[in-house]
Structure 1
């Protein structure tokens, strides 16, 4: 990677609450001060297995073990960029639970609020490389990822208002959640409704829609709109918004979701748009040599949240999101080595022409510029 010279950087679920009536966007509320952690991320993390070589799951005799979870992916990347981060989840008292906790803690994330369940297993999933299918069915296209979950009845699905310490969940300047949790069980959905209830002094609520069609079979994904409307910062992909709400255009999505103070719409390799109280901001995506698309959305959220915690302006937040996503795209697996803060700041400060000329290849985050 060659960086051009730049100037210095500057229980049974109660009935779901009715959707609030649309209103004018709120002021851009920043993260609260004085909390023990910068970000608390809550959700399920599973033991993840990837084929050691190319091919379908049925053809793979060997697998590489890791961990995978949208919220813990974001937590690990935030911790590796210097933030104080806690992950809250629930795992079994099994070897996979040991592995999940050890791996996440190794990235500098606090796991002291994670609960072990002696009666339920840690979730497990297997996946090949490639883009995720949007149909929820086994993909016929070999370019699409084959994903096989064993998470029904998992320890994480037993999360509920009764099993999660709310004080621990609210111990950060930001509480980051995703729509995946709401689909795991009635108790998980009730937990998200409790954590997103309007009340004074709550953390800034960050919500990544993360629509997974397979998880919502037999459930009403309209819950995702309710939850998004109760949060301060919302991330959604244009493709998932089209699938779940029938809208993908950033302006149409802002009309659908006027309540969050910041709405970020990601449109794959084209770019991302941020709607804020001060206006609308756009940043084109970077040109990258993709090794694996897994984890790019979680990484984008981490980059954007990091820049938000640092008080950077909206366009810089989008660019930091793109840089973190580029790190994930150019590395196989769920977690990549994020760019150091000095490098990320330097690249985010490029003028539009220089930004458009960047092409990032595997290993770019660890090379000298």
Structure 2
């Protein structure tokens, strides 16, 4: 088995996103795409030149087969994916009323991915990677998915893998109390945590960015990289505390997926063992590039493309090109 740089898992759904900006009740054509935080990250890493594995439990239906073929076609290793006849593949509909006003409608309750359980995990496959990437979405899907996430952490710890965690808070999936409990539990086992400022505030109960970061560290040697939107990101370790400026964008086309592109950039930099400020700077650039294109994965760049984007330039960058 080929050694993987990163392994990740979670639900990917078929995404129906109209080209026009108007309420969904007036839309009659829906191009078919895919969307899922973990597979977005996996595809982003593949385009940046890394070997990455992704798995899930998909419905044994045309949508499930479409998802697998799409992700595998992006160069992602998918041999641990499973199919089930017990539930369908989940769906997403995205409504764009304006570039800044985007609504997402999920049809995922009781989906195939929610049936994932600990016995579906291939320990050898997970242990074959250097980094385990997790989000807070997967444990919210069901109790068995939560148990699978915790089992994957156990496998990673046993094999001395680095764990990178993006909380990706989805309050529609579970209660506030349960979300806070589980996200903090996973964070306590993680080496690198990638929250948005609002997610960090939710998890810790703190308001000031430095206090949030310290609380997430929990007195341990962790790396906290907090997303600040257009302002960039805040880096916090025991030795470094710095805000890394973002890249201005003249035209936002679709903000969904920017955080996943950011995560891919962080993981890529960690694998390259670059200085953390450089890692965060590139991740900021990728996030800025992603918002300039429709769809969750379409704007994810190659390493050459993001390096070119980062070249010194005057004025804001129009990434809708």
Q: TM-score, normalised by structure 1?
A: 0.80
1:285 aligns with 2:241: no
Q: Distance in 2 between matches of 1:188 and 1:260?
A: 28
Is 1:174 the counterpart of 2:100? The answer is no
* Displacement after TM superposition at 1:358 (Å): 5.0
Q: CA deviation at 1:56?
A: 1.3
* Counterpart selection for 2:210 from 251, 254, 274: 251
Distance 1:251 1:327, change over 3 A: same
C-alpha spacing 1:50/1:320, structure 2 compared with 1 (3 Å): same
In 1, distance between residues paired with 2:47 and 2:198? Answer: 29
Q: Please give the per-residue CA displacement for 1:333-368, whole angstroms capped at 9, x wherever unaligned.
A: 1013444424534665x6xxx57x45221355xxxx
**2:180 pairs with 1:201:** no
Please tell me the root mean square deviation across aligned C-alpha atoms, in Å: 2.2
SS at match of 1:213: coil
Partner of 1:183: 140
Range moving further from structure 2, 106-115 or 333-342: 333-342
Structure 1 residue 201 displacement after superposition: 2.4
For 2:258, the equivalent position in structure 1 comes to 296
Q: Cα distance 1:251–1:145, how it changes in 2: closer, same or farther (>3 A)?
A: same
C-alpha distance in structure 2 between counterparts of 1:295 and 1:38, whole Å? 21
> How has the CA–CA distance of structure 1 residues 334 and 105 changed in structure 2, closer, same or farther, with 3 Å as cutoff?
same
Alignment of 1:131-280 (within 5 A): 144-197=101-154, 199-217=157-175, 220-221=178-179, 222-258=181-217, 259=220, 261-280=222-241
Q: State the aligned residue count.
A: 316
Q: Hey, what does 2:86 align to over in structure 1?
A: 119
Radius of gyration: which is bigger? 1
SS at 2:17 equivalent: strand
- Give the CA deviation at 1:260: 5.7
Q: Does 1:58 align with 2:22?
A: no
Structure 2: stretches of 5+ with no match in the other structure: none
TM-score by length of 2: 0.91
Greater Cα shift, 59-68 or 274-283: 274-283
Output the CA distance in 1 between the equivalents of 2:279 and 2:89. 34
Structure 1 residue runs of 5 or longer lacking an equivalent are: 1-33, 132-141, 365-369
Indicate the SS of the match to 2:187.
helix
